Every structure is written in structure tokens, then in C-alpha cells.
């Protein structure tokens, strides 16, 4: 499932940033390509604004579902679509604005789901960490979470709430869930600002 409902307010473009060009291609095309090259993915769903559905189907041949006004609504819509259109067992979720995602990572997450309930991309904090009201904070006790992320579909479908204030899907699972934190996901950088385009282009060029 590729979440593509963002409007890119911070990016300052006339179109959402997942549709801007990077190396002569739409940003989202790199993500779709990585999913398509996966050896374990059976189907690709893009959850996007209906204005872009016909373009996505025509250009990339993917399934589409309507996004919502917030990311958690978009994810919930995608889960509902998958449940009603397939007998999904494992799900990997990727942001449409992470064009450096690799098919090998997607396959690794699917494989991890044979043993775990969920898989998350995690990154250690390398800068000094501060907290209001606390002078010294041990950064080794913390890490960041991001996509790609993977789930046993039945579990995430049961527990995921569109109105949850939590920003990471795995946080909505029961605390007893078996979660694998993958600290070896390379280049899952997110396109947020226009200046990120040059950095991401450099990553993609080096990979080629």
C-alpha cells in the first residue's frame, strides 16, 4: 500500500510533491517501481486523492483508493479497500514521497512477517537529544520510526483507528505484539522541501 494523499503544503508546489518530477519522472513512480520489482508483493494499492486516480491507473496500472484529509484516514481507507477486495495476509506500507525505497527492503519486510506481527523502519538518534524540563536525556533510550512498515494484515486491520492521534501505525497495535525494528533500511529519506530533490537525485544517481 502506497500512501499518496499528502498535499505538500510545506513543499510549496502547485501539485502534491509525490507528483513533481525527479530525474524526469514523477516521485511516486520510483516507489511504484520498487513495489513492482518486489518478489513477494501480489498487488499494489495507491491511496490517493480521486483527482489523480485516472492518471495513476493509466500510467502505472495500479489499484487505487480514495485518500482522506489526514494520513490515518488515508491508511484506514486503504485497509478497508484491501479487506474488501482481497484475502490479504501480509501488508507493507510505503510513503509515496520516499523515492529511494528499495525492492529488497520490501521483500525483507514481507519475510520478517513470517515470524513477527509487524516490522518498522527504525533509526538511531545521532544528534544530542533534549527535553523540556529535563536537562540530560539519554538518546540511546530513543529511536525514530518511519515507513516502510509491515504488518500481519488481520492484526493491523483490527486495531487501526482513523481518529487516533498516534502518528506511527505500529503504536496502535497491542503492546504484546511481536514487532521487529529494522535499523538497516538505507535511504528512506522523505521528500519534504524543494531542496530535498537534489539530495534524493544524488542518491538515485549513485544507485544507478
pLDDT at position 152 is 98
Give me the chain's average pLDDT, please: 92
Q: Over 90: is that where the pLDDT of 165 sits?
A: yes
- In degrees, rounded to 5, the angle at the alpha carbon of residue 124 between the alpha carbons of residues 182 and 193 is 95
Q: What is the pLDDT, as a whole number, of residue 7?
A: 64
Alpha-carbon span 80 to 86, nearest angstrom: 10
pLDDT of residue 15: 83
For 155, phi then psi, to 5°, come to -70, -50
Task: Please enumerate in sequence order all residues whose Cβ is within 8 A of that of 11, keeping only pairs 6 or more positions apart, or say none.
Answer: 17, 20, 191, 192, 193, 194
Contact (Cβ atoms closer than 8 angstroms) between residue 153 and residue 86: no
> According to the model, what pLDDT value does residue 6 have?
74
Higher pLDDT, 148 or 188: 148
Q: What are phi and psi of 45, to 5 degrees?
A: -115, 125
Condensed to tens digits (0 to 9), the pLDDT of residues 81-132 reads: 999 999 999 999 999 999 999 999 999 999 999 999 999 999 999 899 999 9
pLDDT for 195: 87
Residue % of the chain over a pLDDT of 90: 81
Determine the pLDDT at residue 189: 80
pLDDT value at position 12? Answer: 58
Alpha carbon distances (Å) from 139 to 4, 33, 71, 167: 32, 36, 28, 20
Enter the C-alpha cell of residue 149: 512498515
Top pLDDT among 185 and 12 is at: 185
Is residue 173 within 8 A of residue 133, CB to CB? The reply is no
Q: Within the chain, how many helices (H) and strands (E) appear?
A: 6, 9
Q: State how far the Cα of 21 lies from the Cα of 30, in Å rounded to an integer.
A: 11
Rounded Cα gap, residues 133 and 135, in angstroms: 7
Q: Provide the pLDDT for residue 194.
A: 87
CA dihedral 140, 193, 46, 61 (to 10 degrees): -130
The model carries a pTM of 0.92
The per-residue pLDDT for 208 is 61
User: Radius of gyration (Cα) for the chain, nearest Å?
Assistant: 17
Report the C-alpha gap between 201 and 205 in whole angstroms.
6
The three cell numbers locating residue 33: 517501481
| pLDDT for res 17 | 92
For residue 198, the model assigns a pLDDT of: 87
pLDDT grade for 154, boundaries at 50, 70 and 90: very high
Give the separation between CA 93 and CA 193, rounded to whole angstroms. 22
Residue 2 has pLDDT above 70, yes or no: yes
Q: For 55, phi and psi rounded to 5 degrees?
A: -65, -45
Closest C-alpha to 181, from 137, 136, 126, 119: 119
When pLDDT is averaged across residues 22-26 and rounded to a whole number, the result is: 92
Amino acid at each position: 500500500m502506497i500512501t499518496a494523499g499528502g498535499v505538500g503544503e510545506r513543499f510549496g508546489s502547485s501539485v502534491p510533491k509525490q507528483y513533481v518530477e525527479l530525474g524526469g519522472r514523477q516521485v511516486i513512480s520510483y516507489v511504484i517501481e520498487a513495489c513492482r520489482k518486489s518478489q513477494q508483493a501480489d498487488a499494489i494499492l495507491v491511496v490517493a486523492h480521486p483527482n489523480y486516480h485516472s492518471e495513476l491507473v493509466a500510467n502505472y496500472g495500479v489499484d487505487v483508493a480514495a485518500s482522506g484529509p489526514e494520513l490515518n484516514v488515508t491508511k484506514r481507507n486503504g485497509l478497508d479497500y484491501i479487506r474488501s477486495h482481497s484475502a490479504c495476509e501480509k501488508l507493507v506500507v510505503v510513503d509515496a514521497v520516499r523515492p529511494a525505497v528499495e525492492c529488497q527492503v520490501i521483500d525483507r519486510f514481507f519475510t520478517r512477517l513470517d515470524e513477527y506481527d509487524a516490522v518498522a523502519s527504525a533509526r538511531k538518534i545521532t544528534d544530542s537529544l533534549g527535553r523540556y524540563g529535563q536537562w540530560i536525556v539519554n538518546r540511546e533510550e530513543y529511536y525514530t520510526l518511519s515507513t516502510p512498515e509491515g504488518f500481519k494484515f488481520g492484526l493491523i486491520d483490527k486495531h487501526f483507528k482513523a481518529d487516533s492521534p498516534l502518528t506511527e501505525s505500529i503504536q496502535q497495535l497491542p503492546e504484546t505484539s511481536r514487532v521487529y525494528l529494522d535499523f538497516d533500511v538505507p535511504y528512506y529519506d522523505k521528500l519534504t522541501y524543494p531542496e530535498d530533490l537534489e539530495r534524493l537525485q544524488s542518491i538515485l544517481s549513485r544507485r544507478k
